[in-house]
Structure 1
Amino acid sequence: MYLSRLRLNPRHKQARTDLSSPYQLHATLCWAFAEPDQTPPRFLWRLEEGEIPTVLVQSAVRPNWERLAQRFPGYFAEASEPKPIPLEHLQPGQVLRFRLRANPTVTRKDPQNPDKRKRHGLKKVEEQLEWLHRQGQKGGFAVLGAMVAQSARVRMHKHTEGPPIVLQSVLYEGHLKITDLERFKETLAAGIGHAKALGFGLLSIARG
């Protein structure tokens, strides 16, 4: 896997457009993975807030950011090269720091139509943390301690017309312990939860 840290130029017109729309930002990032007539491979990304907007991108294949820079000259505040993610140091029982922006949800029956089930964003901190623990049980890790650093309902439009899509955005930070190494590696590669194309699900880890 590869990890890229992209610093965007907030004065660039396309960058400003992308920063206001997760759909558009994902579409722009796809230029580094495939031609317009090709289907890009799946990748994970997360927008990090700061004085200079930074986008983390994790992918199974090496992206070509130069191709994106050629299409949008001045888009990046500085050049970026993808770096391989070392996984050989990971061990069962290892404790790591983590950071995750996710869309925690639960599926419930629709009271208006009992034959259908609808996905609902979890708003309470206790429910959000319980969701994270469940993801760990399925994903090969145990949450040792975690906090909700941010929690907000975000609205976004896929098209200029039509109703907005509303998602619960939660930023988790804390420590985890690897309980099943192979499953944990699969979780790192696949991401956690829903709405991955919209900037959710990238699990970042660092030595504790």
Structure 2
Amino acid sequence: MKLWLTRIQPDLRHRDARRDLASAVGMHHRLMMLFPDGAGDRARERMGVLYRIEDAPGGAQGTSHILVQSHVAPALDRLPSGYGTAAAKDITQLLHVLTNGLEVRYRITASAVRKSGPTTRAAGAQAIVPLNGHAAEQWWQRQAEEKAGLKLTSVHTTPLDAARGERSQDKQRIRHVRTCFEGTAYITDAEALKQTLLTGIGRGKAYGCGLLSLAPATRRPQ
């Protein structure tokens, strides 16, 4: 299976770029337009499309970019004229260098939540409880070790604005709490890690959450 990574640098002077960055739903639809039509139900999952918006340190204007991972190459000429610059590269080789014991740097923007049990839901509690702070860090520790085959050696968390938007087909408003987790880890289960890289982690994968980026610890992740 191929693995592609695309970097899009939107031009904030372009109306469509500004609108997409303001809505996680709008960004999802924009990015799915870059991939083949006719994929049927669960097209995003079938093509492995995950994305993350990377903001510049300190929230500098005009320097946000979008990372998009997919199993098929995107058709970048489908972006509107003047939308920004974009380039895609084949990163399939990354899957072959991930081995048990390798130290890596990681970065992921994920939606850390806890599901309430039937008893607490019956008492009126939220079905899905957003997590932050130490609780979010504990959530990531579990995801990394139990699902992603990683043993964390360091973690730094940064709370981010929630991914928001309104779905046009049913007017449902979506909201996914987001936290950026980054640091170092050792690979303990390379096969589990490869599967996690391909499928993402947690909720909100269609809306900018769940894309895990890795690189050998000698250099920073993409």
TM-score > 0.5 by shorter chain: yes
Q: Please name the residue that 2:28 is paired with.
A: 26
Offset from partner CA, 1:20-55 (integer Å, 9 cap, x none): 1010111011111123x5543341000111333310
Contact 2:202–2:209 (CA under 8 A) maintained in structure 1: yes
Contact 1:109–1:116 (CA under 8 A) maintained in structure 2: no
Offset from partner CA, 1:94-152 (integer Å, 9 cap, x none): 111111100011100364636998111112x2111111111112221111110112344
Asked if residue 148 in structure 1 is aligned to residue 154 in structure 2, the reply is no
Instruction: Tell me: CA distance 1:84–1:161, structure 2 relative to 1, closer, same or farther (3 Å).
Output: closer
Asked if residue 52 in structure 1 is aligned to residue 63 in structure 2, the reply is yes
Number of residues paired by the alignment? 202
Which one of 177, 190, 193 corresponds to residue 199 of structure 2? 190
3-state DSSP of counterpart to 1:165 = strand
Distance 1:119 1:185 in 2: 28
Asked if residue 43 in structure 1 is aligned to residue 14 in structure 2, the reply is no
TM, length-normalised to structure 1: 0.87
Moved more, 114-123 or 23-32: 114-123
CA RMSD of aligned residues (A): 2.4
Distance 1:20 1:53 in 2: 12
Alignment of 1:95-174 (within 5 A): 95-109=103-117, 111=120, 113=122, 118-123=127-132, 125-136=133-144, 137-159=146-168, 164-174=173-183
Distance 1:164 1:151 in 2: 18
Offset from partner CA, 1:61-116 (integer Å, 9 cap, x none): 111112x13xx11112x242333342222210111111110001110036463699
Contact 2:23–2:163 (CA under 8 A) maintained in structure 1: no
Distance 1:48 1:171 in 2: 10
Moved more, 84-93 or 180-189: 84-93
> What amino acid is the match of 2:150?
F
TM, length-normalised to structure 2: 0.82
Offset from partner CA, 1:169-204 (integer Å, 9 cap, x none): 101111111101111100111111110000000001
3-state DSSP of counterpart to 2:88 = coil
Instruction: Tell me: CA distance 1:31–1:152, structure 2 relative to 1, closer, same or farther (3 Å).
Output: closer
